Structure 1
Amino acid sequence: MTELYNSMQPMSIISIADLGCSSGPNTLFVAAELVKLVGELCRGSDHMPEFEILLNDLQGNDFNSIFRSLLPRFQEELRPGGFGHCFVYGVPGSFYGRLFAAKSLHFVHSSYSLMWLSKVPEGLEMNKENIYMSSTSPKSVLNAYYEQFKRDFWEFLKCRSQEIVGGGKMVLTFLGRKSEDASSKECCYIWELLALALKEMLSQGLIEEEKLLSFNIPQYTPSPSEVKAEVKNEGSFSIKRLEASEITWTACGNINMDSSTNVAKCMRAVAEPLLVQHFGPLLVLDQLFDKYRTILSDRMSKEETKFVNVTVSMTRLAD
């Protein structure tokens, strides 16, 4: 943001888009930090730009909650700093298509959203013992996931290239992996353990075998080299920085809960809509995630488990 502001000033308005914003307490966190940063850069100047904050997520996102409970706190937080006017908008829709007017954005941010694919890949019939990629998945299944990721990410980059001004910035964080093996434990293990809990439900007659065998997670956790290759392939952005970082499973969630409960709650928030849509409302989610928590507790007590984040900072090339 500092580089953007210094290269484009004076700016009368700065448009910031957050893609996959959700509706939790941190929805406006990045926007607030960026506004404060520009405020510091403008300190001592008689010029303060106005801000457009554009919050995007799918149509089912609770935008009403954002504007009813989060926006007042956001405005209150910024008021003492005397920052320029901030206009906040909700923009429902998939980021795998156009969302904004051409050349209207200066800064795009997305965190923990782009690993979600636009759909479950085709050609997963041979993956029946798994709900995601795993060490036992056939090569064809791994290829199907990777090809869907490439199509989706290329489309995402192409759409953003049309919406971001030349010299504009984009920072993306994926749940990813360091390994070049798409079936490595660092990205697939969390889903393999959920699959074990589902198989326990099957053995007890609580879910149908046909339903379990046809359930697949629409996610792909890329490596840094895969992200780099697709950015280069699309051709509209230059990469300023690309890195992978780690966070242990035990660092997730509420410090007042045990780690396995935290991870189970986080994964339930992620997986519940997919599970209900596929298995139907009769699936006893409390029972499933109790089993999952028990499995997590056992594995986390025996080994160090980590998530990997892949973060890339890019600049829109001039046309």
Structure 2
Amino acid sequence: MRINEFLHMNKGDGELSYVQNSFDQNGVWLMNQHLIESTIQYLISKDKGLIKGLNVADLGCGVGHVPLALVSLITEIMQRKFKELRLDSEPSCFLMGVPGSYYDVLFPRNSLHFVHSNFTLHWLSKTPWLLDNQGMSINKGNIHIVETSPKPVVEAYWAQFEPDFSQFLKCRSKEVVTNGFMLLTLTGSPCSTDSLIWTPCVTKILNEALICLISEGLIKEEKLDSFEFPMYLASTKQLEIIVQKEGSFAVEHSETTELDVAPEIEDKLQRPKILTKVFRAYSESILPHHFGEEIITVIYDKFTHYAFQHLVQDKTFEHYAVTVVLEQNCKGVAVFLDFEA
């Protein structure tokens, strides 16, 4: 089954909603604003006609503060440009929602000047196939890649992510104009380690929680063995390899940002609760689909317990965001933007 048939972020604005628990997404968005502004300014400087119409797409869940913050930022940039050019009128802003998967074509050909995606593309279109010829799991006891994963597990995740990301690039190459840009931010992995087997803390903690519930007789072992968390945490190097291989875009800029969850809070009882809310906000549509609605509260309570154990051992909630700025290829002509300002 394709993940987009059931995956969604927690709705509304309540205590467990994505809106209230998307700290990383908001933080990285703020850090990336200078990249967006530099890119938009460059586009306008190369084509003054874009003052009359700049088409921007934000591809993601559409929930949280970032989509409207992007609209506000680009509107501000255009307003400043209007004043700089001493135009009498004010820029108008028109919004529309486009339902569908970003692994399909969503917009008319050559219609977009800038595409933005924030914490979306690490989700796989479907879970990797991890069964042997006898129908047994080759990742037994684990829900994701771990340091001890056999090579076929690592290869299966990569074999799902690479064509997914390539398909995304192919679709966007039809929609983005020549010399148009994309800024993509994903949950990822550091380049300084073996990113193929790097394991995020949340899947480690969830794995421990599920194994504990098996020992308590609340979940069957087969349920764990048949579950894989449907995301891949690529490094910037891996993204660059896929972009170069696919060929529609060129990498203009890439960076990796180390993140933590509520590091300012010293209370080791409070921080695990915050991590659980953050994790629950984006995973609660996934776990009930496999384990059932009746066990979900118990799973997240156990997750909080093991998150506390994680902190007691002086471990952090370390994770990473990777960002790439891509330019639609234009017959090998290189463009160099100043992203350090």
TM-score range, shorter chain: 0.7 to 0.9
Confirm or deny: 8 A CA contact 1:237 1:316 kept in the other structure.
Answer: yes
Residue 44 (structure 2) aligns with: 5
- 1:181 and 1:317, CA in 2 relative to 1: closer, same or farther beyond 3 A? closer
Residue 55 (structure 1) aligns with: none
Q: Give 1:204 shift.
A: 1.7
Give the match's secondary structure for 1:286.
helix
- 1:37 and 1:218, CA in 2 relative to 1: closer, same or farther beyond 3 A? same
Confirm or deny: 8 A CA contact 1:252 1:262 kept in the other structure.
Answer: no
Residue 236 (structure 1) aligns with: 248
Confirm or deny: 8 A CA contact 2:257 2:322 kept in the other structure.
Answer: yes
- 1:206 and 1:147, CA in 2 relative to 1: closer, same or farther beyond 3 A? same
Query: Which of the residues 93, 99, 111 maps onto 2:106?
Result: 99
User: What is the CA–CA distance in structure 2 between the aligned matches of 1:239 and 1:262, rounded to whole Å?
Assistant: 35
1:1-319 correspondence runs (5 A): 1-11=40-50, 12-47=52-87, 83-124=90-131, 125-178=137-190, 179-184=193-198, 187-251=199-263, 258-283=270-295, 285-301=296-312, 302-318=314-330
**Length-normalised TM-score, structure 1:** 0.83
Give the match's secondary structure for 1:180.
coil
Residue 61 (structure 1) aligns with: none
Q: Which range moved further: 3-12 or 157-166? A: 3-12
Gaps of 5+ in 2: 1-39, 132-136, 332-341
Residue 59 (structure 1) aligns with: none
User: What is the CA–CA distance in structure 1 between the aligned matches of 2:64 and 2:90, rounded to whole Å?
Assistant: 24
Q: Give 1:258 shift.
A: 2.5
Q: Name the count of aligned residue pairs.
A: 281
**Length-normalised TM-score, structure 2:** 0.78
User: What is the CA–CA distance in structure 2 between the aligned matches of 1:227 and 1:244, rounded to whole Å?
Assistant: 12
User: What is the CA–CA distance in structure 1 between the aligned matches of 2:263 and 2:316, rounded to whole Å?
Assistant: 12
**1:229-250 superposed Cα distances (whole Å, 9 cap, x missing partner):** 0110111112111111111123
Q: Partner letter of residue 157 of structure 2?
A: Y
Q: Partner letter of residue 43 of structure 1?
A: K
Q: Give 1:251 shift.
A: 4.4
* Greater relative contact order (Cα < 8 A, sep 6+): 2
Q: Give 1:208 shift.
A: 2.1
- 1:252 and 1:94, CA in 2 relative to 1: closer, same or farther beyond 3 A? farther
- 1:101 and 1:250, CA in 2 relative to 1: closer, same or farther beyond 3 A? same
Q: Give 1:136 shift.
A: 2.2
User: What is the CA–CA distance in structure 2 between the aligned matches of 1:281 and 1:305, rounded to whole Å?
Assistant: 27
Gaps of 5+ in 1: 49-81
- 1:214 and 1:228, CA in 2 relative to 1: closer, same or farther beyond 3 A? same
Structure with greater proportional strand content: 1
Alpha-carbon RMSD across the aligned residues, in angstroms, is 2.0
Q: Give 1:135 shift.
A: 1.3
